[in-house]
C-alpha cells in the first residue's frame, strides 16, 4: 500500500508544531511498511488535489491566513472535487475556520470562507480567549477515544452540527464551550495544536485508515507499541485534572 499526502501551505501554516502531525503519519506508516509520499503545495503551485489520499492544512495567525486567502479561494472547486473523490481532509485551527461560511475578526471585518460547511467564526472581545490544554471525548466512527491537545484561538466557531468531540477540559469551539471541532466522516477540523497526533495515536491511525480507504478496501493496520505516546497523553490529562480540581 501507498499513501499520498498533500501538505498545503507548509511554509505558512505551521503554528505550534503542526508539522509534527506529518512526522507522526510518516513514522506510523513506515513502521508498518506502508509507503508514504508527502508532497507540499504553496501559493500558486499547481497540484491536482484529487490525486492525494490525505490533504492537510495546519494553523496560522491572522497575517498568515491573509497571505494565502486568495489562493485557497481559487482552489475551492479543486477541494470539492477532492472531497468527492474521497480524499480525507485534516484541518487545524485556521485551516478549520477557512472551510466555514465566514470569519469576523477583532475589527469587525468579515472575511468570506470557502463556504463548504455551515459553521462560521466570530471574534468576540466580550469573552476570554480560548487558550490552554484541552481534553475531549471523540467518537471516531463509533469508537470512543480520549483526545488531548493545546488550543489558542480568539475566534468562536458556531453552528457546528457534527463536532469532533465533547469537551472534558478546556474550551473547544467557543469559550467555555461544550463541543470541539468538526467531523463529518471525511473532513476533520480541530483547534488542537501541540501538535495533535503525537499524543493521540488512535487518531493518527484513524486518519491513516480513512485516507487509505480512498483506494484500498478493508484496510487493517498492524498494531504498534504506543506505550510512550499513551503515557504522554495520560501525563497531560493528569495535569489538566489536577489544575481543574
Could you give the residue numbers annotated as active site?
93, 193
- Distance of alpha carbon 124 from alpha carbon 234, whole angstroms: 33
- 28 is known to lie in a ligand binding site: no
SS3 of residue 80 by DSSP:
helix
User: Within a 13 Å sphere around the CA of 242, how many CA atoms are in the beta-carbon half?
Assistant: 6
Please list the helix, strand and coil fractions of the chain in percent, rounded to the nearest 5, in that order: 30, 30, 40
Q: Helices then strands (H, E): number in the chain?
A: 6, 14
* Helix (H/G/I), strand (E/B), else coil: 113: coil
143 closest CA partner among 199, 188, 206: 206
Q: Please, what is the end-to-end C-alpha distance for the chain in angstroms?
A: 47
Residues paired with 103 in a beta bridge: 111, 121
Give the separation between CA 13 and CA 237, rounded to whole angstroms: 27
Give binding residues for substrate as ranges.
129
Amino acid at each position: 500500500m501507498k499513501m499520498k499526502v498533500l501538505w498545503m501551505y507548509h511554509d505558512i501554516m505551521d503554528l505550534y508544531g503542526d508539522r509534527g502531525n506529518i512526522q507522526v503519519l510518516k513514522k506510523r506508516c513506515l513502521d508498518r511498511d506502508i509507503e508514504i509520499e508527502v508532497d507540499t503545495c504553496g501559493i500558486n503551485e499547481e497540484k491536482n488535489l484529487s490525486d492525494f489520499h490525505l490533504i492537510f492544512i495546519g494553523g496560522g495567525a491572522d497575517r498568515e491566513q491573509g497571505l494565502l486567502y486568495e489562493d485557497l479561494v481559487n482552489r475551492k472547486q479543486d477541494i470539492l472535487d477532492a472531497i468527492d473523490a474521497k480524499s480525507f481532509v485534516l484541518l487545524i485551527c485556521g485551516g478549520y475556520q477557512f472551510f466555514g461560511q465566514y470569519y469576523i475578526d477583532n475589527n469587525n471585518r468579515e472575511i468570506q470562507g470557502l463556504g463548504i460547511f455551515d459553521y462560521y467564526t466570530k471574534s468576540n472581545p466580550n469573552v476570554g480567549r480560548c487558550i490552554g490544554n484541552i481534553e475531549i471525548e471523540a467518537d471516531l466512527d463509533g469508537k470512543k477515544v480520549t483526545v488531548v491537545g493545546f488550543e489558542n484561538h480568539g475566534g468562536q466557531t458556531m453552528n457546528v452540527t457534527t463536532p469532533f468531540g465533547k469537551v472534558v477540559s478546556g474550551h473547544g469551539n467557543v469559550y467555555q464551550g461544550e463541543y470541539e471541532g468538526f467531523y463529518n466522516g471525511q473532513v476533520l477540523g480541530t483547534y488542537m495544536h501541540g501538535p495533535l497526533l503525537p499524543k493521540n495515536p488512535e487518531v493518527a491511525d484513524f486518519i491513516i485508515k480513512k485516507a487509505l480507504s480512498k483506494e484500498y478496501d478493508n484496510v487493517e493496520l498492524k498494531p504498534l507499541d504506543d506505550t510512550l505516546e499513551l503515557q504522554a497523553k495520560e501525563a497531560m490529562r493528569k495535569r489538566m485534572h489536577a489544575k481543574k480540581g
